[in-house]
A and B are shown apart, each in its own frame.
Chain A
Amino acid sequence: MNFTSLDLQLLNTCAALLLLVSFAMLSQRRIVSLVNLLALQGTLLCAATLLLAWRTGQHHLYLSAALTLALKVVGLPWLLHRLIRRLEVYWDTEPLINMPGAMLVGLVTVVFAFGLAQPIAELASTATRNAIGIAVAVILLAFITMITRRKAMSQVVGFLSMENGLFFGAMSATYGMPMVVELGVALDVLVAVLVLGIFFFQIREQFDSLDLHHLESLREDQ
């Protein structure tokens, strides 16, 4: 494990770009662009994994990078683009918090995330430990994206972005999870998106829209 300062700089650049993409997702209202940002996030994740695999010589990371490439850069965005075209949902409506507000909340979240990651980063022995804070921030930002959106499609993109953050967290803290687990998680994510695809058509058939305000009728006293 001989990291040159150039490698570390490259890795940190990847991490910083990941965070930037998360912020872009928070403010993007065009759903096609949102999916493209998700693919970009996957690409960055894949690049970071490859760099780590090359520098640490851990072979399972190559597999993990290939998995990311196949699933998160190619597979899922393709599937989502197809769904968008078939369902004709191109724009999200105004989110619950307006853009400047969301950015402010996002900034506070990043500070909180670094605070949360501090004790873990101190104990980590990996060269990438500084990126753990960023991984936590990506997870939390994706969470905010999910809760402030009204269209089912944007919520799903938020969900997948959260999954990306989790993978990046696992990678920067421990150089990835055991292969069995990574494969299982990837399979689950794929199945989740397929299930959601079916689900979207059901919602659409029933309400003629993918706007989630139709799904607010179940209350406690019914």
Chain B
Amino acid sequence: MEFAVLLATPLGGSMLLALWGHRRRAAEINVALSLVTFLAATALTARVIGEGNLLTGRDQFFIDPFNVFLVALTAFVGLTTAIFSRPYMRVEIEHGRLNAHRLRLYHSMYQLFMAMMLVALTSNNLGLLWVAMEAATLSTVLLVTLYRTPASLEAGWKYFILCGVGIAQALFGTILLYFAAEKVLGAEGVRALLWTDLAAVKGELEPTVLSLAFVFLLVGYGTKVGLAPLHNWLPDAHAEGPTPVSAVLSGLLLNVAIYAVVRCKVLVEGSLQSSLPSNMLMGFGLLSVVLAAFFLWRQRDIKRLFAYSSIEHMGIVTFAFGMGGAVANFAALLHMTVHSLTKSAIFFAVGHAAQKAGSQRMEDIRGLLAMNPTIGWGLMLGSLAILGVPPFGVFASEFLILTTAMKQQPWATPILLVALGVAFAAIFGRVQSMVYGEATGRRLPHQPALLPVFAHLALVLLLGLYIPPYLAEWYRAAARMIGGG
């Protein structure tokens, strides 16, 4: 029941908003739909905590501790982004960057995007997971090009082609997985791609085929995670799209992609009994962290800066999942949560800061604290949180990852520390010069909704100080399931 509401609300909502068009209250309907989705996700979470794993829809959908926490997170950030985007998009219209027709496209595609991410997260069928990932990409292509500027068209094209090719590799990987599964599970049913069935027989799957499949799946879904050297689409898509889209791309879509990689890794590791998948994840993760940290220095656009920071954090998460084991997985899951909350909060603050300055170039943004203390503090605290300053949650997860790395992969610790230091210096210096100084910006025609920024940061702070026991139990169950190490 909760589950049906969870998927049907955004799907139906997307159609409703497409028909509703640019009549009044479209933004409020968008918020209301996101609220219903969030309530359904909360109810579903409560049920899974109470009754354990859930298998539904003729076994095509599956909820376990690993994906239920991502479902709750996705629905929550989806709700806060909808709240944030209401005044933000109005300001954009008044500034003449958008018109009401495009807003219809935006609202409709926003709901569709949420629906596809939720399908991808809850699907038990690895083929359907692929289909939903591709659909999530397609629904955001037109959102990235919403402003129709030359730069946004270029970003949209890059996003489409790179992710299209990437995800085609993932389809080949899925075909190979099916090929191996069909030998064990039999060709007759449609069950040979069901994750639960595959996980039960993962030890019997043919190792050669699975290692080949994993390479394709990692490259394919890794493109969507933004792992270096496949990350080129990510900064462009984040910088050129509207800010609410940057927030959900960075905060949610990257998580969904990494979720797909980890699901595949569990199967392949069970079959291979070797460290190939772990090593590949660690290698790609470390490369992303290092490359992103150094690219941070060259950025002049504020949204590109934080897009590179997302690549860095996805690299850290990938590295942690690569190390595997209960502690590293726990830390990686925590890091996914806090990164998602913090980064979307930062994008909210950045969006309004750029609107006030009338530019995304960091040299044009000055004196945020004097101009609007809430935006200024939002950006400052958000940046400190994402840089891993205690007592925020990012510190807790990074600390856990670093200490585990010291035990399991000592060679990687100095590399990680240097990259984190470089990133700290790059981002902190830039943010400082944007926050302090004299006020130069203009007044916004609508009051920005900054409640989501502080709600997210409060949650991140809470997770840094104290993780509620049921949440910790939930992370631990997911971490055990992912295994490895």
Query: Which A residues are closer than 8 A to B by beta carbons?
Result: 116, 119-120, 123-125, 139, 143, 146, 152, 155, 159, 162-163, 166, 169-170, 173-175, 177-181, 184-185, 187-188, 191-192, 195-196, 198-199, 202-203, 205-207, 212, 214-218, 220-222
Contact = CB atoms under 8 A, between A and B. Distances in A.
Interface in B164-205: 164-165, 168, 171-172, 174-176, 178-179, 182-183, 187, 190, 192-193
Contacts of A139: 168, 172
Given A184-B130, A199-B157, 8 more contacts: A162-B165, A174-B178, A177-B193, A185-B171, A188-B135, A199-B142, A203-B153, A207-B153
Given A120-B176, A123-B206, A188 B131 contact: yes
B459 interface: no
A222 B175 contact: no
A152 B157 contact: yes
Nearest to A220: B298
A159 B175 contact: no
Interface of B: 60, 125, 127-128, 130-131, 134-135, 138, 141-142, 145, 148-151, 153-158, 160-161, 164-165, 168, 171-172, 174-176, 178-179, 182-183, 187, 190, 192-193, 206, 208-209, 212, 235-236, 240, 295, 298-301, 304
B406 to A, nearest CB: 32
Contacts of A170: 175, 178
Contact of A175 (B135, B168, B187): B187
A195 B143 CA distance: 11
Contacts of A178: 125, 127, 178, 190, 192-193
A120 B209 contact: yes
Given A175-B187, A184-B131, A218-B154, A166 B171 contact: yes
A214 to B, nearest CB: 7
Nearest to A169: B175
6 contacts: A123-B206, A174-B179, A179-B190, A206-B153, A215-B154, A218-B158
A108 to B, nearest CB: 20
A18 B448 CA distance: 57
A132 to B, nearest CB: 9
Contact of B175 (A166, A196, A199): A166
Contact of B165 (A146, A191, A196, A221): A146
Contacts of B190: 178-180
A159 B161 contact: yes
A18 B179 CA distance: 22
Contacts of B155: 218
A215 B183 CA distance: 46
A191 B212 CA distance: 29
Contacts of B128: 180-181, 184
Contacts of B127: 177-178, 180-181, 184-185
A186 B330 CA distance: 38
- Consensus secondary structure, chain B interface: helix
B172 A166 contact: yes
A197 B372 CA distance: 43
Task: Name, among B156, B164, B208, the residue most crowded by chain A CB atoms within 10 Å (CB to CB).
Answer: B164
A1 to B, nearest CB: 11
Contacts of A174: 175, 178-179, 182, 187
A149 to B, nearest CB: 11
B173 to A, nearest CB: 10
B157 A222 contact: no
Contact of B158 (A162, A185, A215): A215
Contacts of B301: 222
Nearest to A155: B161
A188 B138 contact: yes
Nearest to A212: B157
B299 A180 contact: no
Nearest to A182: B127
Nearest to B176: A120
B342 to A, nearest CB: 24
Contacts of A177: 127, 174-175, 178, 193
Contacts of A180: 60, 125, 127-128, 190
Contact of B168 (A124, A155, A166, A184): A166
Contacts of B240: 218
A120 B138 CA distance: 31
A214 B150 contact: yes
Nearest to B213: A120
Contacts of B187: 174-175
Given A152-B157, A178-B192, A123 B209 contact: yes
B123 to A, nearest CB: 10
A139 B301 CA distance: 37
A119 B209 contact: yes
Nearest to A147: B165
Nearest to A60: B190
A222 B157 CA distance: 18
B175 A173 contact: yes
Contact of B141 (A143, A155, A199, A216): A199
B157 A192 contact: no
Contacts of A188: 131, 134-135, 138
A162 B165 CA distance: 9
A174 B186 CA distance: 11
A207 B150 CA distance: 8
Central interface residue in B154, B298, B300, by most chain A CB within 10 Å: B154
Given A184-B127, A184-B131, A162 B168 contact: yes
A217 B152 CA distance: 11
B175 A217 contact: no
Contact of A119 (B153, B171, B212): B212
Contact of A199 (B134, B160, B176, B178): B160
Nearest to A196: B160
A221 B175 contact: no
Nearest to B127: A181
A217 B171 contact: no
A202 B153 contact: yes
Contacts of A192: 134, 138, 160, 164
B148 A205 contact: yes
